[in-house]
Amino acid sequence: MFIDKVSISLTAGRGGDGCISFRREKYVPYGGPDGGNGGKGGDIYFEADPHKTTLLDLSYRPKFKAENGQRGLPSDKFGRYGEDLIIKIPLGTLVLKNGELFVDLKTAGERILIVKGGRGGRGNASFKTGKYTAPRIAEKGEPGETAEINLELRLIADIGFVGLPNAGKSTLLSKISAARPKIADYPFTTLAPNLGVINYNDKHFVVADIPGIIEGAHEGKGLGFEFLRHIRRTKVLAHIIDVSGFDGKDPYANYKIINNELKKYSKYLAKKHIIIVLNKIDLPDSQKHIKNFKKHLKTKKLFGISATTGSGVDLLLKEMVKMLTKPLDFNPEEEIETIPVKKYIYEPEFKVNIKGGIFVVTGVKIETLTEMTKFNEDEALRRYQNILKKMGLEIKLEKMGIKSGDIVKIGEFEFTFEK
């Protein structure tokens, strides 16, 4: 099965907690602090794998989590790092992170950090200062970053085949490459894109054969526009037209139908180099239709071929190579219009909203600090309060009219406010 769109959620590993411990040595009455830091949580990466052609396996597993870091240990031992997780995705996959375009993986083996593992909490050894020689304080590990990811595959090909169903697109692909797509005498034989590699006179290029489109595709008729995104990166389109006249329709009318649909899909498709291929010239009525076609399109080069017998195919391949070297007046890679533009929004360190009498505080920094504090330890609590004070939370709450006994909520934690 071919799957080209999936949503998954990622959670990087949480950092390990810091350790509180004091050295115990023979004949030394009070050893110094020796609690080690927790290990960092595992990161999650995406890697572009040229051997993958579908997102199918990811659609079975919507949630991924990297390993947590381990807690710090006495004798200044650091906790072990959580293992990173590397998820392989097909070349040509657009990665949207929390709704915004994050990266477009186009190079084989390219590896990108998507969510970062949490920092390990500091152990009490690292809180030691000159006047503070025996700290009983350690941090909890930082939570791993999380993200909602949408993946959208856009195959990487140089030439795209377009045309009505049954025009002979898959037959042509099988003639010029080692690909063996399904071919049959009824429309919509091809239900998912096929890729084929072509070697011609020491030139290599990739062709994408996509399902046929029909009149009204822009309104969702037939298979609609679903697969056209796979030819958006291509430089050249080969428009395959059946000139046997078998469907009772005039091939030139069919040509105009497809052109019209392509324009409705994107103004860029019509700006690519287009090769017009008149197929099935081995069939008796074809010459009549070709003549008619030429009358309408005097200025354009036309390539008459038979995908079955192979006649005319060599000239067509030559033209394909020529068109691939000809520059386009736009970059097809820049044509990714449907993707929302990244917005940079200034965010204050924290925000306070009153909800049902509760003072709800939000903000990444303040929530992370809260997550990492061990509230059952006096020193940790004191440090936490000091930092909040420095950030100006107390002043802000007082301005908003907080009174002793009111409830303050930060992340998952709730406190009773006391002056």
Ligand X SMILES: Nc1nc2c(ncn2[C@@H]2O[C@H](COP(=O)(O)OP(=O)(O)OP(=O)(O)O)[C@@H](O)[C@H]2O)c(=O)[nH]1
- Summarize as ranges the residues that interact with ligand X (CB under 6 A): 163, 165-171, 183-185, 187-190, 211-212, 279-280, 282-283, 306-308
Closest distance to ligand X from the beta carbon of 177 (Å)? 13
Residue 115, token pair as written in the block = 């969510």
Q: Which residues have C-beta within 8 Å of that of residue 93, sequence separation ≥ 6?
A: 46, 48, 55, 104, 105, 151, 152, 153, 154
Residue 279 binds what, of Mg ion, ligand X, none (CB under 5 to 8 Å, by partner type)? ligand X
Closest distance to ligand X from the beta carbon of 46 (Å)? 32
The SS3 assignment for 395 reads helix
Helices vs strands, H then E, count in the chain: 8, 18
Answer yes or no: are the C-beta atoms of 147 and 65 closer than 8 Å.
no
State the DSSP string of 205-257: EEEEE-----TTGGGT-TTTTTTGGGGTT-SEEEEEEE-S-TTSS-HHHHHHH
Residue 254 binds what, of ligand X, Mg ion, none (CB under 5 to 8 Å, by partner type)? none
Q: Binding Mg ion by CB under 5 A: which of 124, 166, 190, 254?
A: 190
Q: Smaller CB distance to ligand X: residue 284 or 405?
A: 284
Q: Smaller CB distance to ligand X: residue 68 or 244?
A: 244
Number of residues that bind Mg ion (CB under 5 A): 4
Closest distance to Mg ion from the beta carbon of 186 (Å)? 10
Residue 76, token pair as written in the block = 């200044």
Binding mask 100-119 for Mg ion (x = CB under 5 A): --------------------
Answer yes or no: are the C-beta atoms of 221 and 214 closer than 8 Å.
yes
Closest distance to ligand X from the beta carbon of 332 (Å)? 23
Binding mask 138-177 for Mg ion (x = CB under 5 A): -------------------------------xx-------
- The structure tokens 């052609």 sit at 53
Q: Among positive and negative, which fits the CA dihedral 125, 129, 130, 134?
A: negative
Closest distance to ligand X from the beta carbon of 173 (Å)? 8
Closest distance to ligand X from the beta carbon of 193 (Å)? 10
How far, in Å, CA of 55 to CA of 92, rounded?
11
Q: Among positive and negative, which fits the CA dihedral 143, 148, 58, 90?
A: negative
Q: Smaller CB distance to ligand X: residue 13 or 168?
A: 168
Q: Smaller CB distance to Mg ion: residue 170 or 177?
A: 170
How many CA atoms are closer than 13 Å to the CA of 363, on its beta-carbon side? 17
How many C-beta atoms surround the C-beta of residue 301 within 10 A?
A: 8
Residue 283 binds what, of Mg ion, ligand X, none (CB under 5 to 8 Å, by partner type)? ligand X
Closest distance to Mg ion from the beta carbon of 251 (Å)? 18
Closest distance to Mg ion from the beta carbon of 181 (Å)? 6
Query: Please, which residues bridge with residue 79 across strands?
Result: none
- Residue 381, H or E segment: helix 378-391
Q: How far is CA 377 from CA 135, 170, 277, in A?
A: 11, 70, 77
Closest distance to ligand X from the beta carbon of 309 (Å)? 7
Q: Smaller CB distance to ligand X: residue 25 or 185?
A: 185
Residue 187 binds what, of ligand X, Mg ion, none (CB under 5 to 8 Å, by partner type)? ligand X
Q: Smaller CB distance to ligand X: residue 21 or 306?
A: 306
Interactions with Mg ion, residue window 75-104 (CB under 5 A): none
How far, in Å, CA of 125 to CA of 21, rounded?
8
Residue 168 binds what, of Mg ion, ligand X, none (CB under 5 to 8 Å, by partner type)? ligand X
Q: Smaller CB distance to Mg ion: residue 117 or 211?
A: 211
Q: Smaller CB distance to ligand X: residue 126 or 286?
A: 286
What residue ranges bind Mg ion (CB under 5 A)? Answer: 169-170, 189-190
